[in-house]
Structure 1
Amino acid sequence: MKILVLGSAAAGGSPRWNCTCRQCAGLRDGTLRGRRRTPGSIAVSADGEGWLLINASPDLPQQLRDTPALQSPSGCGGPPPIRAILLTDARLDHVAGLLNLRDGPPLELYCTPRVFEELTGELALLPVLDHYCGVRWHLLPISGELGDEQEPAAQSSAEFRVPGCPGLRLRAIALPGSPPPHSPRRDDPAAGDSIGVLIEDEASGERLFHAPTLEGVGPVEREWMARAQCILVGGLHAPLNDLATLSATRKVLTEAQHDHPLLDEASAERRQLAAHGIEVAHDGMEIELS
């Protein structure tokens, strides 16, 4: 399985255009040991030809220009390397880039009913795209009330496959999370507002657990992460000990806020992570599981 980190920052990227904090200013003037980052998105493939894009950053055009593997080798008329898009939520920094795909073939879009409702309601991206390339929605049946160990969600996980990405078996997993600020349901969270995904390479058996907005590590999240050889999680709310004790070969943090000390490669926090074998993702990072 090949994993390409296209963007590795939280909303607004790093440095943020309107921020003069120590880290943003240091990146601009070269005094901070760190990297420039765009908002989070990754691509996953079993064969290096058909790719699943997970979330569509506002900076998607630049991310694609920087990633030769996602550029059509035969020009505009050939099959696009990106065969489908999976959305883990309806946050602006995960969906705004969909508009940049409007000049291609119909979008094969995988998301939960809650996310679909957001993108056809107040933030009507999908009706707009229907007038350009068209959208084919593939249901991820995660629904019901957000549950806990005593009262689980009505449908808390769902296995699926993406025909354009052979060799991958995927499972969507309901995670605690709130609807985005623009949502009329923002005070009424439910299963399907935020998901993680467990992706298995059927040939090698290697698995990736990806959750770009992980709000914590409870028993359910720990159980799913324990099944993966690579963990790629964002949100950075999880205590260090929760990740350090997991047996995964690669443990990678992504989508950090622009002012998070982990983005300073000379910080004590960054050294502490390294001592526990935990990496920090960066734009252009490549991970291969075999």
Structure 2
Amino acid sequence: MKIRVLGSAAGGGFPQWNCNCLNCDGVRKGTIQAVSRTQSSIAVSDDGVDWLLVNASPDVLMQIRANPVLQPARAVRDTGIAAVLLMDAQIDHVTGLLMLRERGSPLPLYATQEVLADLSQALPLTRVLGHYCGVDARPLALDGAALSIAPLRDTSLLPIPLLSKAPPYSSHREDPHPGDNIGLMLHDAASGARVFYAPGLGHMTDAVEEAMRQADVLLVDGTCWSDDEMITLGLSKKTTHMMGHLPQSGPGGMIEVLDRMPARRKILIHINNSNPILREDSRERAELAAHGIEVAFDGMEIDL
């Protein structure tokens, strides 16, 4: 199993287009030790030629250009993206679907019933794509059974429901349903290795705890350093928990969670532009390193 991190930032990317916080202003001017990042997405492959795209970021065209493995050029029109799987219906994870509209056949799209409903009604991307390539919708069941998805031959996937809200535009925003947000366990039958991917993790449950303990590699929510980060910087009136994410620091935070996990690699992804861990020489980045925690970057490769 090969995993390529296409985008490692949270919604808005880094720098965010309208933000002039220390991080965004500094990376634009080159005055801080940091690199820009696109919005979060990964690609998974068994053979390095055909890939499952996990989340379709608004930055997908930029990500394809930055990752030539996604364009094998076997024909005049070609793509290495064989199918797409969505973790939720958030804008920063789904609007890239529109950029794939020139595909020559219906796009295989794996998502829960809740996500597919939001994308056919509240944010009707699947209906729009029906006027172009079309969508071959394939609902993901949350029955505890792993499934196989072409083009992956040796890798099985187990969707795990997470406690989280649907997007603001969903008809049930204030009535969370199982399936609004999922984590994903990827199991490579050839090596026996497991990867748990959850870019939007706001609450620990018994099922999530068990999955994380089984994983050899954890690729999980790194949105904010502290719960009041966005409020302190004057960027929002919402805490990290209110936005549906687990902060890294503080009691019950992601550092504390990862410290009790036996995984050989622990990696944070979906990093908000406000997070001080984006600065490679920051105290917070050094603290992560002391705990054996890595920070994902665009182009990061994980081979198992």
Distance 2:89 2:24 in 1: 26
1:76 deviates by: 3.5
> Contact 1:167–1:203 at 8 Å: present in 2 too?
yes
Distance 2:77 2:28 in 1: 39
TM alignment of 1:1-290, pairs within 5 A: 1-78=1-78, 80-104=79-103, 105-142=105-142, 155=143, 157-236=144-223, 237=246, 238-289=253-304
> Contact 2:268–2:294 at 8 Å: present in 1 too?
yes
Superimposed CA distance per residue, residues 111-131 of structure 1 (whole angstroms, 9 cap, x where no aligned partner): 000000000002000011111
Superimposed CA distance per residue, residues 226-283 of structure 1 (whole angstroms, 9 cap, x where no aligned partner): 1111110125414312102211111100111101111111111110110111000011
> Contact 1:64–1:71 at 8 Å: present in 2 too?
yes
Distance 2:10 2:290 in 1: 24
Distance 1:26 1:66 in 2: 23
> Contact 2:160–2:207 at 8 Å: present in 1 too?
no
The size of the alignment, in residue pairs, is: 275
Distance 1:202 1:58 in 2: 32
Unaligned runs of 5+ in 1: 143-154
Distance 2:162 2:70 in 1: 29
Distance 1:235 1:282 in 2: 12
Distance 2:157 2:12 in 1: 29
| TM-score (norm: length of structure 2) | 0.88
| TM-score (norm: length of structure 1) | 0.92
Distance 1:29 1:280 in 2: 22
- Structure 1 range deviating more: 235-244 or 41-50: 235-244
Superimposed CA distance per residue, residues 84-107 of structure 1 (whole angstroms, 9 cap, x where no aligned partner): 110000000000000011001321
Question: What one-letter code is carried by the residue in structure 2 that aligns with 1:117?
Answer: A
1:72 deviates by: 2.8
- Structure 1 range deviating more: 227-236 or 184-193: 227-236
Distance 1:235 1:216 in 2: 13
Question: What one-letter code is carried by the residue in structure 2 that aligns with 1:264?
Answer: R
> Contact 2:157–2:187 at 8 Å: present in 1 too?
yes
Distance 2:146 2:188 in 1: 14
> Contact 1:33–1:264 at 8 Å: present in 2 too?
yes
Distance 1:284 1:254 in 2: 12
> Contact 2:45–2:151 at 8 Å: present in 1 too?
no
Distance 1:165 1:100 in 2: 23
Superimposed CA distance per residue, residues 24-77 of structure 1 (whole angstroms, 9 cap, x where no aligned partner): 000011111111011100001122122110000000000000001101322434
Distance 1:76 1:17 in 2: 34
Distance 1:94 1:50 in 2: 20
Superposed CA RMSD: 1.2
Question: What one-letter code is carried by the residue in structure 2 that aligns with 1:247?
Answer: P
Secondary structure at the aligned position of 2:57 is classed as coil
Unaligned runs of 5+ in 2: 224-245, 247-252
> Contact 2:16–2:24 at 8 Å: present in 1 too?
yes
- Structure 1 range deviating more: 257-266 or 54-63: 257-266
Q: 1:233 to 1:141 in 2, by over 3 A?
A: same
Distance 1:77 1:259 in 2: 39
> Contact 2:216–2:263 at 8 Å: present in 1 too?
yes
Runs of 4+ with deviation above 6 angstroms: none
Question: What one-letter code is carried by the residue in structure 2 that aligns with 1:249?
Answer: R
Q: Indicate the percent of aligned positions where both proteins have the same amino acid.
A: 47
1:164 deviates by: 2.0
